[in-house]
Amino acid sequence: MRRSLAGVALAVTSMVALSFLIPLGLLVMSLAREQSVTAAEQSAAAMAPILALTTDPAELREAGTGLRAAEHLVIHLPDRALVGGAGHAPPDLLRRAEEERESISRDVPGGWIYLQPVVLPQDRVAVVENFVPDEELRRGVALSWIVMAGLAVLLLAGSVLVADRLGSAVVGAARRLAEASRRLGAGNLDSRVHPKGPPELREAGAAFNTMADRMTDLLAVERELVADLSHRLRTPLTALHLAVERIPEGTETRRIHSAVAELERELGAIIDEARTPLSVGPMGRALRGEDTGDAPPAGDGERCEVAGAVRRRAAFWAVLAGQQDRPCRVQVTDEPTPVALPENDITAVVDALVGNVFRYTPAGTPFEISVDRTAHTVELVVQDAGAGIADPDGALARGASTGSTGLGLDIARRAALATHGSVRITRGPLGGAHLRVTLGLAPCVPERPRRRRARTAGGHRG
């Protein structure tokens, strides 16, 4: 941008300089010619009084010695005698001046000539000729052009220098604003800019600072609301714990204890996630809709084993599947499946997708959970034998909509994007929805292929 401004300034200044220099140069040439012509006419006219007194060549030479341009001054006497140097006037032009008795000026080869007839006694006519060479007509023009060209160069250099300084100020202010925006987008909420440069950029910088302050205030309010929510939810959980303790020991009691403990863990994970700035970790970047291709290496952050997390959650859902007579098949690879996500995120994906199966298919509908590994990815598949998803693209586009499969799919989509993966919805072998969540493997993982083992949860096999 800085070079562009300098180039524009150079082009504009060049056009302005040329628009003035060309007419000025022509004017200088015209003035130089006019001065030479005027001097020649004056020299010729000065000889007229002398010719009226005498026509003797010797006296005329003596009288014309001090006259200007004497070396080009020639007097044609009535008897065709010449006084001075060689004449340059064509014979026909000389004859015309004698006959018409009027002064004549004309360009001739090598310069310009002026003929001034002088009427002598006895109706005789003498002609005073003054020749001005081309060098005299252009005297001082070259020097004037050199001076003007030097001034034009100085003007161009000065304009480029000024434009470069102005461009540097504008570009510097714009770059500082862009850098502050990138830092704010990366999660640095303390990023501010010192407004500098033109009024428009100073106004943009002030608006940016106001926006950043507002965002900081909103996040502070959000943290307060989350803290208040945690206190509100922990109170009924404590009461639920006390109520469960009064229930006689048994299988159902242990299951309720486990469910309450799981609810407490999930609540703590939700509160921790809500209190973590969105800039921390790849999930935060995915939530903001950023391209994680420029994110820091995933191996530098928290990671977990997808296979282990899925096994643990599948065991939880298998109990509920057994109560609803749902055949549940779990097929998980034994290979390492590390991804650059916390286990809470993988758990949330499994719970969201399997929860949609329980929510939108009738009891007794079979479903399957599988985890497989390829050379560079981990593939989590949840499929069922229900009615399927009529509009897969629309379901993925719904994002955080509630009351539909959109919420669970959005959780899966964010996790996939955070690891450079994807989510695909098709109709699977069971006849219903087939959701494939592809997660990118964390770096530095051995790629030796291994067999996959299958096991069935909940006492049912597909």
Assign 3-class secondary structure to 286-338. Answer: HHCCCCHHHCCCHHHCCCEEHHHHHHHHHHHHHHHHHHCCCCEEEEEECCCCE
The predicted model gives 349-369 an average pLDDT of: 90
Task: State how far the Cα of 372 lies from the Cα of 380, in Å rounded to an integer.
Answer: 7
53: which residues sit within 8 A by CB, 6+ positions away?
Answer: none
Q: Minimum mean pLDDT among 110-119, 392-401, 436-445: which range?
A: 392-401
Find residue 114's DSSP bridge partners.
105, 130
Which pLDDT score is estimated for 70? 53
Residue 333 reports pLDDT greater than 90: yes
The DSSP H or E segment spanning 34 is: helix 2-53
pLDDT at 349 over 50: yes
Specify the pLDDT at position 235. 61
The pLDDT-based confidence of 341 (bands split at 50, 70, 90) is very high
Q: Which two tokens stand for residue 22?
A: 């060309």
pLDDT tens profile 149-192: 787 778 777 777 777 777 777 777 888 888 888 888 887 888 88
Of 309 and 460, the one with more pLDDT: 309
- Which whole number is the average pLDDT over 46-53? 77
Contacts of 390 (CB under 8 A, 6+ apart): none
Amino acid at 73: L
Question: Are residues 389 and 344 in contact, defined by beta-carbon separation less than 8 angstroms?
Answer: no
Long-range contacts of 289-297 (CB under 8 A, 24+ apart): 290/185, 292/417, 292/418, 292/419, 292/420, 293/420, 297/443
Asked if residue 306 has pLDDT above 50, the reply is: yes
Structure tokens at 345: 């995120």
Q: What is the mean pLDDT of residues 138-151?
A: 78
Q: ∠ CA(270), CA(223), CA(346), 5° rounding?
A: 20
Give per-residue pLDDT as tens, 267-287: 777 666 665 655 444 444 444
3-state SS class at 428: coil
In the predicted structure, residue 444 carries a pLDDT above the cut 50: yes
Domains and CATH numbers, the chain: 2-141 (3.30.450.160), 206-275 (1.10.287.130), 281-291+301-456 (3.30.565.10)
Q: Report in angstroms the alpha-carbon separations of 104 from 59, 93, 97.
A: 26, 8, 7
The single-letter code of the amino acid at 179 is E
pLDDT of 334 higher than 50: yes
Check: CB of residue 438 under 8 Å from CB of residue 424: yes
Residue 4: the pLDDT is 56
Please check the confidence at residue 20 and state whether its pLDDT lies above 70: no
- In terms of average pLDDT, the best of 50-59, 184-193, 423-432 is 423-432
52-61, 79-88, 436-445, range with greatest mean pLDDT = 436-445
Work out the mean pLDDT of the chain and round it to a whole number. Answer: 76
The answer on pLDDT for 16 being more than 60 is yes
pLDDT for residue 403: 40
d(CA 144, CA 286) in angstroms, rounded, equals 69
Helices 251-275, 199-245: axis angle to 10 degrees equals: 170
Distance CA 407, CA 399 (A): 6
List, in sequence order, every residue forming a beta bridge with 382; answer none if it has no partner.
369, 435
**pLDDT confidence of residue 163:** 73
Count CB neighbours of 123 within 10 A: 7
Please give the pLDDT value at position 29: 75
Which of 45-49, 110-114, 187-191 has the weakest average pLDDT?
Answer: 45-49
Q: Which helix (H) or strand (E) holds 352?
A: helix 343-360
Does this model's pTM top 0.85? My answer is no
3-state secondary structure of 262: helix
pLDDT digits (tens, 9 = 90+) for 71-109: 677 888 877 777 776 777 888 888 888 888 888 888 888
Q: What is the mean pLDDT of residues 210-229?
A: 79
